Structure formats: C-alpha cells, structure tokens
C-alpha cells in the first residue's frame, strides 16, 4: 500500500529536475547569444568638435548713443545799432567775405578769426589781436596789409592797412571810409552753416540773431564725465548708421562746458555731461543723411596678438582654474586673460598657435 505514493513522488522530482535543467540550459544559451552579439557589434563612433588655438586681437567696447548732424550749434549775436533788413536762410553756408545779414540795408560780411571786433579800427598805431584778425582777412581776400606777426597781440595797425581796408570796402559795396567799427563785420571761427534764425526782420540788430554749426557732418555724443576714461581726442571709433552699416570715425573734440545730468548745471547731484564730437573718416558715407540717431562703439580695452580659443573650449578643473583638452584626452592647464564676446585669451606651458583642442561650441 505504501509503495505507490513513493513512486509518484520520485516521478515528480524527476520531472522538476528536467525542467530546471532545461531552464538552466536556456539561460546559458541566452547568455551566450547576448554576449556573442555584444562582441560582434562595432563600438559607436565618438564625435568631438575641435578648434585651433589662434593668435588674434581681442577688444572690448562700449556702445554710446549719438546724433549725426552738423554738430553743436553756437549763437551769433548782432552788435552795433540799426534794424535787421535781411536775414539768411537755414542751411546757407557762409565763409570769409560772404554777407551774413543786412542792417539798415547795408551788408554785414563775415570775417574769420578768434577775436571779435570790439572797437573801431583805422587809426595808425592801434595794437592788438583784433588788428591781426582784420589784417589776416584782408590779406586772404586779396588786399595786402603788410601786417604779419607770430604774436597777434603785438599786431600794429598801419597806413598800408588803412589803404587795404578802403579798397576792400569799395569792392564789397560798402562805404570806403577806411575805418571798421563794431557790428560792421561778424567774426566767426570758421566757415559755417546757418542752423536756425532767431531774429525777425525789423528787429534791432543788437540781439541773438541766429545759430550756426559746422559745415561738416559730425556725430555728437553726450557722455557723463565719470564715463570719459576711454574717450580720448584722436581715438578711433566705429559709427553704426541706421541701416546697420559701420563706418570708421575719429574723436575730434570733447566739450569743456559741462551740463548737469538733469539738464540744469554742474551743481547737480548727478555727474555732468560733456558733448563729444566725432568726425566720420569718410564724409561721403554720410552724405545722404542730414540728421540721424546712430550708435558709436568706443574701444575700452584691447589685447593685440594674444592666443585665444572659444569660451566653450575651457574645462573647469576640480582643484580650481581651467584647462584645454586635446583630442587624445590630455588636459593642459591654462591661464585665462581677457574675455571678448565668445573668445577668451589663454596662455601657459604647451599652449601654441595652431594647437587643436576640443570645444563645446
């Protein structure tokens, strides 16, 4: 009676052993197949982006807003007595000998110089810078005075100068009196362009009559005194025109009259602002523009002839500092210098021009 159950148990054990064995064989077979396929497939290629270390010039710049036009206007005041009977038009260009306006229907010509006429000239022996101004203009207009000196303050009026003045007055349609009084000519610093007319016909001449500017187009940039350090007379700049074209320019002048940052005066709590004048190197490049808002890029820092790579080529080291990585994986420690846009200056032992390094950019 007990023998049958015992045979049944042995059969179950045998079946289980066979199943386990088959499973084990399957597992081994599977492992072999998987391992075999891993060794047969080639490794996926590793692609890295590289750049070459190059020698270049790095610069940093500051962008300022400016206005292209004819520069800062200055006011011309009339002098003497009489009524304005003719005025110039905006845009008129006046130079030496040209009539600026008329008083009591008498022409008032332009002389060029640095000293305005402040007294009547014509008496022999008068000495001063105004004598030199009148003499210089008469000489330039073709009426020699014989007055020439390296020190304007020592210029002395002569009988020959009176004769020259008389001849010029006659040729200009003026009263050939041989004397020249206050208000009979207007002394300007250079040939100028009429910017605006402040007076009206019928006004007394002794008032602000008009404003004038340079005849050449310039860019005027207001710059706070605290930001003037990179701005130097003679410095090179880049002017960005409204159509995004870029032309070179030169800093021609820095205004000395300061206005407060709030538009009042230099006593303002804010830094005073100075007018910086920039001349385009090629006037023809702005010939089609009378007025326009432009940008001016001023170089604030430069590093010529340095080794540089894209910033993405830098590798931060765990111990601090940076390195660049060669294609073979070797790291070369570098010292960083100036950053300029997407480039950085690097130096260090083993860093050479043309060396290939890995970059993330």
Per-residue pLDDT at 43 exceeds 90? no
- Asked whether the predicted pLDDT for residue 133 surpasses 70, the reply is yes
257 has a pLDDT exceeding 70: no
pLDDT value at 330 more than 70:
yes
Q: In the prediction, which pLDDT does 226 show?
A: 86
| Overall pTM surpassing 0.85 (yes/no) | no
Cα–Cα distance between 337 and 119 in angstroms, integer?
A: 64
Strands (E) located in the chain: 50-52, 54-69, 74-77, 84-86, 93-94, 99-103, 106-112, 186-188, 192-197, 208-214, 218-224, 236-240, 246-254, 273-280, 292-310, 315-316, 322-325, 331-340, 343-347, 356-358
At 134-181, the pLDDT tens digits run: 999 999 999 999 998 889 999 999 999 999 999 999 999 999 999 999
Mean per-residue pLDDT of the chain: 86
pLDDT-derived band at 20 (thresholds 50, 70, 90) equals: very low
Question: pLDDT at position 119, please?
Answer: 97
- What pLDDT is attached to residue 110? 98
Whole-angstrom distance, CA of residue 243 vs CA of residue 253: 26
Hey, what CATH topology would domain 75-214 get? Muramoyl-pentapeptide Carboxypeptidase; domain 1 (1.10.101)
Kindly list the domain boundaries of the chain, sorted by start residue: 50-60+302-358, 61-70+217-301, 75-214
The pLDDT value recorded for residue 45 is 58
d(CA 111, CA 89) in angstroms, rounded, equals 19
Which of 33-37, 59-63, 188-192, 305-309 shows the lowest per-residue confidence on average (mean pLDDT)? 33-37
> Which of the residue ranges 195-199, 272-276, 307-311 would you say has the lowest mean pLDDT?
272-276
**What pLDDT score was predicted for residue 228?**
84
**Predicted confidence band at 341 (pLDDT cuts at 50, 70, 90)?**
confident
Calculate mean pLDDT across residues 290-302. 92
Tokens 């009176």, located at residue: 162
Q: Tell me what the mean pLDDT of segment 46-72 comes to.
A: 91
CATH number of 61-70+217-301: 2.40.30.170
CATH 2.40.420.20 given to domain 50-60+302-358 = yes
- What is the mean predicted confidence (pLDDT) over 296-301? 92
* Mean pLDDT confidence for 271-284: 92
């Amino acid at each position: 009676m007990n023998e049958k159950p015992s045979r049944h148990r042995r059969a179950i054990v045998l079946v289980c052993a066979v199943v386990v064995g088959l499973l084990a064989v399957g597992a081994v077979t599977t492992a072999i197949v998987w391992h075999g396929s891993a060794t047969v497939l080639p490794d996926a290629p590793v692609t890295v982006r590289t750049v070459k270390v190059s020698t270049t010039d790095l610069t940093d710049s500051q962008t300022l807003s400016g206005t292209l036009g004819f520069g800062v206007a200055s006011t011309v005041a009339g002098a003497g007595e009489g009524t304005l009977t003719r005025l110039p038009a905006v845009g008129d260009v006046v130079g030496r000998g040209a009539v600026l306006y008329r008083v009591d229907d008498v022409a008032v010509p332009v002389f060029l110089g640095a000293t305005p006429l402040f007294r009547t000239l014509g008496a022999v022996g008068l000495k001063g810078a105004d004598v030199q101004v009148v003499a210089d203009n008469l000489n330039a207009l073709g009426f020699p005075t014989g007055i020439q000196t390296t020190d304007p303050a020592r210029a002395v009026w002569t009988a020959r100068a009176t004769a020259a003045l008389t001849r010029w007055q006659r040729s200009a349609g003026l009263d050939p009196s041989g004397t020249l009084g206050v208000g009979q000519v207007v002394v300007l610093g250079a040939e100028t362009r009429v910017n605006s007319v402040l007076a009206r016909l019928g006004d007394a001449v002794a008032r602000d009559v008009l404003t004038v500017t340079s005849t050449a187009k310039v860019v005027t940039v207001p710059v706070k005194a605290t930001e003037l350090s990179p701005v130097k007379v003679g410095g090179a700049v880049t002017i960005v025109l409204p159509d995004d074209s870029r032309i070179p320019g030169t800093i021609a002048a820095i205004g000395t009259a300061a206005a407060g940052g709030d538009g009042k005066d230099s006593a303002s709590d804010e830094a005073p602002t100075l007018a910086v004048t920039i001349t385009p190197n090629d006037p023809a490049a702005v010939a089609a523009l009378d007025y326009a808002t432009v940008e001016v890029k001023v170089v604030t820092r430069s590093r010529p002839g340095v080794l540089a790579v894209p910033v993405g080529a830098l590798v931060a080291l765990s111990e601090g500092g940076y390195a660049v990585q060669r294609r073979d994986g070797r790291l070369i420690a570098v010292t960083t210098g100036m950053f300029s846009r997407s480039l950085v200056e690097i130096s260090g032992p083993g860093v050479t021009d043309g060396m290939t390094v890995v970059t993330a950019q």
